[in-house]
């Protein structure tokens, strides 16, 4: 009885804190938003993670689920837009594959000039066939045995050779994942070309909400080049076999055993999807985590201490927490397959129409005070379950084990350096150029 009463008081107190916090966030949004308006910087203001975090705080407190007739997404067919911000609803949407489908199929097919890739598939035989085969080819145990040691050696050498001044994007954060595709995937191609292709194709598939015709033309040209490169690489490996334990050789072994989905074309399409997922993502996430740490002197000092003491788990916790505040993607989207309801039988329950795109706000979910302890504090002792850094549910990132090992490995040798700092001026800020992905980020340290 006593605990029931205590729970009621705790729940009321929690709601009051949430309302207080969100009202304050609203005041700040109005004040800073007006300032940005007068300065003509509204777009930049809303792109800032801190602004988005405040918007989500207000939504979670007052209108956690929103349904609009307006079509925000132009790249994939839809009948309108919905936004879901509470953690339990975000996870629910990403779990209900029958109600909320992935939309990427049409553009995936344009990139392969035919078949879908498994991120664009609903549950079923095709998805099971391709993910099962590719998980046999890209084994979890490879990460500790092959991928991480190589990344560690390369990152260490790059930082050592930098002489205390480094543009980390071309030199380090793109280089290490590209090297992984060359040595472990077995299909790295020409370095700069592969980095450019995969960056543009990732943008085309996942972030081109406005359906830019110019990007479409670039993507079609580069996808064709990537297909030609992969067809050539597979033919070349078959003509000149090697014994390297890489993904391409494993796929060819599966082909020899008549494994479904492992025809030359199947291998090519699966490698194409993996390549697009691997290079720009690891690079951008590494930059965002570092950027966040550089904005937080205490967290930076603590991360550096952990790196220098080789406390790898603690160091990684700093990276995940930095990515919670500065995430790779603030939302994951799905499309309703039929009329349905989010959060049924609650005050926030929302009807979703068939065809509506649902933005499940993973960024918001990671700051929901109802489920996340001290959400606004930078903490390095959170359970892994608090994070939604690379998706959730059936389509959670195929590269999750790689990401968990490689991103901290890229950053660790940098963080070990003395007086690590941004280069002066704009050079010391992430420069995304026109691509939406980091192109340059200059840092300095004492040698």
Residues that bind ligand HEM (CB under 6 A): 102, 118-119, 131, 273-274, 277-278, 281-282, 285, 328-329, 332, 390-391, 395, 397-399, 402-403, 407
Helix axes 213-239, 191-202, angle to 10 degrees: 130
N- to C-terminal Cα separation, the chain:
64
Nearest to 441 by CA among 290, 260, 230, 258: 290
Q: Report in angstroms how near the CB of residue 288 gets to ligand HEM at its nearest.
A: 9
For the record, the structure tokens of 111 come out as 């990139």
Q: Report in angstroms how near the CB of residue 328 gets to ligand HEM at its nearest.
A: 4
Q: How far apart are CA 319 and CA 317, in angstroms?
A: 5
Q: Report in angstroms how near the CB of residue 127 gets to ligand HEM at its nearest.
A: 7
Q: How far apart are CA 51 and CA 46, in angstroms?
A: 6
Q: Report in angstroms how near the CB of residue 287 gets to ligand HEM at its nearest.
A: 11
Nearest to 88 by CA among 317, 318, 345: 345
Q: How far apart are CA 150 and CA 155, in angstroms?
A: 9
- Which residue sits closest to ligand HEM, CB atoms considered? 399
Is the CB of 147 or the CB of 299 nearer to ligand HEM?
A: 147
Is the CB of 80 or the CB of 399 nearer to ligand HEM?
A: 399
Contact 126, 108 (CB under 8 A): no
Name beta bridge partners: 440.
431
Q: How far apart are CA 254 and CA 363, in angstroms?
A: 39
Q: Report in angstroms how near the CB of residue 96 gets to ligand HEM at its nearest.
A: 13
**Neighbouring residues of 241: CB distance < 8 A, sequence distance ≥ 6:** 249, 252
Pinpoint the alpha helices (H) of 339-399: 362-365
Is the CB of 282 or the CB of 303 nearer to ligand HEM?
A: 282
Q: Report in angstroms how near the CB of residue 353 gets to ligand HEM at its nearest.
A: 20
Q: Report in angstroms how near the CB of residue 416 gets to ligand HEM at its nearest.
A: 21
Is the CB of 148 or the CB of 403 nearer to ligand HEM?
A: 403
Strand 442-446 vs strand 418-422: parallel, antiparallel, or unpaired? Answer: antiparallel
**What is the phi-psi region of residue 316: left when phi exceeds 0, alpha when psi lies from -120 to 50, beta otherwise?**
alpha
Q: Report in angstroms how near the CB of residue 31 gets to ligand HEM at its nearest.
A: 32
Contact 379, 321 (CB under 8 A): yes
Is the CB of 36 or the CB of 143 nearer to ligand HEM?
A: 143
Is the CB of 102 or the CB of 443 nearer to ligand HEM?
A: 102
Count of helix runs (H) and strand runs (E) in the chain:
18, 10
Is the CB of 363 or the CB of 445 nearer to ligand HEM?
A: 363
- Phi, psi dihedral angles at 100 (to 5 degrees): -130, 110
Is the CB of 61 or the CB of 272 nearer to ligand HEM?
A: 272
Q: Report in angstroms how near the CB of residue 151 gets to ligand HEM at its nearest.
A: 11
Is the CB of 36 or the CB of 290 nearer to ligand HEM?
A: 290
Q: How far apart are CA 154 and CA 145, in angstroms?
A: 15
């Amino acid at each position: 009885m006593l605990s029931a009463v205590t729970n009621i008081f705790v729940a009321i107190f929690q709601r009051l804190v949430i309302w207080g916090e969100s009202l304050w966030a609203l005041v700040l949004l109005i004040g800073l938003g007006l300032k940005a308006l007068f300065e003509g910087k509204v777009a930049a203001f809303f792109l800032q993670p801190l602004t988005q975090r405040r918007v989500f705080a207000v939504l979670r407190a007052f209108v956690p689920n929103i349904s609009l007739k307006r079509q925000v997404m132009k790249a994939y067919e839809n009948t309108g837009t919905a936004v879901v911000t509470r953690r339990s609803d975000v996870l629910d949407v990403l779990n209900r594959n029958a109600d909320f489908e992935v939309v990427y199929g049409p553009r995936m097919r344009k990139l392969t000039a035919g078949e879908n890739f498994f991120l664009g598939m609903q549950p079923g035989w095709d998805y099971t066939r391709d993910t099962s085969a590719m998980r046999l080819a890209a084994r979890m145990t490879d990460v500790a045995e092959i991928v991480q040691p190589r990344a560690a050696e390369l990152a260490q050498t790059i930082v050592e050779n930098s002489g205390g001044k480094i543009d980390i994007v071309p030199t380090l954060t793109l280089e290490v994942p590209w090297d992984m595709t060359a040595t472990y995937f077995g299909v790295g191609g020409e370095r700069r070309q592969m980095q450019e292709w995969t960056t543009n194709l990732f943008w085309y598939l996942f972030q081109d909400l406005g359906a830019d015709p110019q990007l479409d033309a670039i993507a079609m040209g580069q996808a064709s080049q990537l297909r030609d490169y992969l067809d050539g690489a597979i033919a070349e490996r078959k003509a000149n076999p090697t014994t390297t334990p890489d993904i391409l050789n494993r796929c060819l072994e599966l082909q020899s055993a008549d494994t479904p989905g492992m025809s030359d074309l199947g291998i090519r399409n699966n490698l194409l999807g993996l390549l697009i997922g691997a290079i720009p993502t690891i690079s951008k996430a590494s930059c965002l985590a570092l950027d966040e740490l550089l904005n937080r002197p205490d967290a930076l000092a603590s991360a550096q201490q952990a790196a220098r003491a080789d406390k790898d788990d603690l160091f990684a916790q700093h990276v995940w927490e930095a990515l919670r505040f500065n995430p790779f993607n603030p939302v994951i989207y799905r499309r309703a397959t039929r009329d349905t309801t989010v959060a049924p039988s609650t005050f926030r329950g929302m009807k979703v129409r068939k065809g509506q795109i649902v933005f499940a706000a993973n960024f918001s979910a990671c700051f929901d005070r109802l489920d996340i302890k001290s959400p606004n504090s930078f903490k390095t002792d959170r359970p892994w379950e608090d994070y939604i850094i690379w998706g959730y549910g059936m389509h959670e990132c195929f590269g999750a084990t790689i990401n968990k090992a490689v991103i901290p490995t890229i950053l660790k040798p940098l963080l070990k350096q003395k007086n690590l700092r941004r280069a002066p001026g704009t050079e010391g800020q992430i420069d995304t150029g026109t691509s939406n992905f980091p192109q340059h980020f200059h840092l300095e340290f004492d040698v």
